[in-house]
Amino acid sequence: MELISTKQQNYLDFLLAMTEKEIRVRYKMAFLGFLWILLNPLLQMLIMGFIFQFFVPVHVNNYFLFLFVGLLPWNFFSMTVNKSTPVIMNERSLIQKAKFPRESLVLSIVLSNLFHFLIAFALLLVALVVDKIFQGYSFSQLSWYFLRILTSFGLCIWLAFVTSGFSLLFSALNVRYRDVNFMVQAILPLWFYATPVVYTLNLLPEKFQLLFFFNPLTSIVQLFQYILLNQPFSLQIPFILNVLLGIFLAILGFTFFKKESIFFDDWV
Amino acid sequence: MNEQKNIAIQLKKITKKYQLQHNKPTFFEQLLQRRNTEQFLALREVSLTIFSGQKIGILGSNGSGKTTLLKIIAGITSPTSGSVVTHGKIVSLINLEAGFHPDMTGLENVFLNGLIIGMSKNEIEKKTPSVIHFSGIKKFIDSPFYTYSQGMKLRLSFSLGIHSDPDILILDEVMAAGDAEFQSKAKKKIDQFFTQKKTILIVSHWLEFLETYCEKYLWVNKGKIQAFGGKEVLEQYRVFQNKKSNYLP
């Protein structure tokens, strides 16, 4: 028995080849190439940190670090969704060519962005550990911190899953309704401020806090801040519902895409 | 068991509806009012069985539903209702230009397209030299695809398609690709295909060409199968066409 069938092997090869293409195209275009992965969130962090520290009284040791931990997953999400939404239209010529799993077009974008995200994330982890050593953490304290870091990789997979779901949903919708791309572009900047990246939820009046749990990214960003920075969060019903909402929407995205994708050729 | 009796393609009551789009559809419109959607029936309850090894010429005027039928067989789109069963690897040369990325080089395109039409990585690596040789664009294979001329694009795409070793090959007016020299090369290659036990579906308005190659003919008219059979179908179609052209002023 072979481990995977030829068909699955072919699918995997195609997905990886598309991902590689995505990554290579990005390096070709950007002058700074690899540096840009890190430079982009760093500059964002510096500018936002400089401005928001005067307005947002977040109780953290280092507001810049707090920002960066939230910005990385947010940037991964927004860049992936932004690029995935029009991808079926952009790659219409592939759609018209042959039968192949359509979702690989979206998933290759997710994977290539995940590759960039993980590089930046690994560098962030190094910075955090160095910071802990300078703070004079003992060996056992450091070991605990390493364990926390390990769990954050599970969180990265969870983030990639939810991002894939939204990317698939919007890209399939955009085939039917061409204005979905514009809507996504309009909504993403607003969505950023509806996600606790530059602030923490406990700064808001209690009655508004619940509203934020309609945003499936809230729990993800909060968990990143909790694991890496020990930023407290409340594990209560709204939080759990928020996690379930994320799962539900992601599965909705996957199934909707699967259902629609066999008719993409009629619409592109 | 007779080789002829293996089913390659089986269609049962295939119906394909298209929604006519007069404008780009938008989500807002959908929310405000249900658009009155005009529909167009491209295929009406088409049933068809093709055995493996058969060479079938497909006849029909423009807009009769030929391409829709081929797209459904190739799995590029799905029918609105009905079932499609196919056995074996299908390669369609319906839209030769499709699938090639203008910013990638010819070689990168060969690799990606090979994967799309179902070749394995190894297979592509092994066959790339002969794909390039056959297409005759050795010098330009590392140039970006947008620098290619129309003829070069078609030649490379055709070359890849026929090197992919399909069980079922779908050709749509591909004999128009390339210059006279390439056409004779392509014809030789297709001759080879016809001598092998491959299933071939071929659309062409060039009836003499079909006559020399095909053993069965499928006549599609107004989304239905008008006739399916041997040489007599071709003759019927000729008569039908002549009648039609006689009406012209």
How would you class B129 by CB atoms within 10 Å of its CB: exposed for 0-12, middle for 13-18, buried for 19 or more?
A: exposed
Cβ–Cβ of A97/B25 closer than 8 Å? no
Query: Is 50 exceeded by the pLDDT of residue A1?
Result: no
What is the residue-averaged pLDDT of chain A?
Answer: 88
Does A17 sit within 8 Å of B95, measured CB to CB?
no
Would the CB atoms of A96 and B98 count as touching at under 8 Å? yes
Average pLDDT over residues A122-140: 88
Q: Which two tokens stand for residue A248?
A: 């539900």
Query: Which helix (H) or strand (E) is A205 found in, with range?
Result: none
CB contact under 8 A, B116 and A97: yes
* pLDDT tens digits, one per residue of A4-32: 677 788 888 889 988 988 887 777 666 66
Mean pLDDT across the stretch A46-51?
89
pLDDT at A4: 67
Examine the pLDDT at A77 and tell me if it is beyond 90: yes
Q: What is the reported pLDDT for B2?
A: 47
d(CA A164, CA A158): 10
Q: Is B23's pLDDT higher than 70?
A: no
B39 vs A84, residue with greater confidence:
A84
CA distance B78 to A24: 33
User: Average pLDDT for residues A49-61, to the nearest whole number?
Assistant: 80
Whether the pLDDT of residue B4 is over 70: the answer is no
> CB-CB: which of A9, A179, A263 is closest to B77?
A263
Q: What is the pLDDT of residue B215?
A: 86
Task: For CA atoms B139, B141, B147, B149, give the dihedral sign.
Answer: positive
Q: Which residues of chain B are within 8 Å of residue A21 when distances are taken between CB atoms? A: 101, 104, 108, 112
Q: Which of B237, B160, B246 is nearest to B206 (CA)?
A: B237
Q: Indicate the residue of B28, B77, B111 with minimum beta-carbon distance to A179.
A: B28
Query: What pLDDT is stored for residue B166 in this prediction?
Result: 87
The shortest C-alpha distance from A20 to chain B (Å) reads 11
Task: Give mean pLDDT, residues A131-151.
Answer: 88
pTM for the model stands at: 0.88
State how far residue A133 is from chain B, nearest Cα, in angstroms: 47
Cβ of A97 within 8 Å of Cβ of B77? The answer is no
CB contact under 8 A, A97 and B90: no
pLDDT tens readout for residues B152-179: 888 888 889 888 888 898 888 766 666 7
What residues contact residue A206 under an 8 Å CB cut-off, 6+ apart? none
Find the range with the poorest average confidence among B2-16, B78-92, B132-146: B2-16
Task: Output the pLDDT for position A160.
Answer: 97
CB contact under 8 A, A177 and B92: no
The pLDDT of A148-152, averaged and rounded, is 92
CA neighbours closer than 13 Å in the CB half-sphere of residue B109: 33
Find the CB nearest A97 among B25, B99, B104: B99
Tokens of A39: 């430079």
Please answer yes or no on whether A97 and B75 come within 8 Å at the CB atom.
Answer: no
Residues of chain A in Cβ contact (below 8 Å) with chain B: 6, 9-10, 13-14, 17-18, 21, 25, 93-100, 173, 176-180, 183, 262-266
Q: Which of A145-159, A202-216, B122-136 has the lowest mean pLDDT?
A: A202-216
Decide: A265 and A95 in contact? Cβ < 8 Å: yes
Handedness of CA A49, A55, A61, A66 (dihedral sign): negative
Token couple for A223 = 């968990």
According to the model, what pLDDT value does residue B176 have? Answer: 61
A173 CB neighbours in chain B (<8 A) are 27
Burial classification of residue A172, based on how many CB atoms lie within 10 Å of its CB (0-12 exposed, 13-18 middle, 19 or more buried)? buried
Q: Measured between CA atoms, how close is B221 to chain A, in angstroms?
A: 21
**Is residue A63 over pLDDT 80?**
yes
| Structure confidence at residue B190 as a pLDDT band (50, 70, 90) | confident
Q: What percent of chain B has pLDDT over 90?
A: 22
Euclidean distance between CA atoms A126 and B225, whole angstroms: 68
**Which residues of B are less than 8 Å from A263 in CB distance?**
77-78
Domain-wise residue ranges, chain A: 6-267
Partner-chain contact B27 A179, CB within 8 Å: yes
